[in-house]
Amino acid sequence: MVLAADAGGNARKKYSDKCAFYHIPLLEAFDRDSLGRACGRSQAAVVAVTDPGFAASVMACVGEYRGGEAFDETSGV
């Protein structure tokens, strides 16, 4: 799951609790506008990535965007 960094408090709690309960990785990144544009919508507070390969790619790309190995979010280049 990808949660927009500017998502409201209720949405943040709801999805972080659900992801923790079901052991689903939750990534907090981007804003609602950017996340929505990536999905072809005007805004999106949360996006579920159901394909395991695509989810791994998203995690790797966001890790590199945030600083990569300095933050232990990528395996290396």
**Over the stretch 8-66, which tens digit does the pLDDT of each residue have?**
999 999 999 999 999 999 999 889 999 999 999 999 999 999 999 998 888 888 877 66
Which CATH class for the 2-71 domain?
alpha beta
Q: What is the DSSP string of 5-70?
A: TT--HHHHHHHHHHHHHHT---EE-S-HHHHHHHHTSS--SEE----HHHHHHHHHHHHHHHTGGG
Query: Could you tell me which of 22, 72, 26, 29 has the C-alpha nearest to residue 49?
Result: 26
Read off the pLDDT of residues 13-22 as tens digits, 9 standing for 90 and up. 999 999 999 9
Q: What pTM was computed for the model?
A: 0.76
Domain ranges of the chain: 2-71
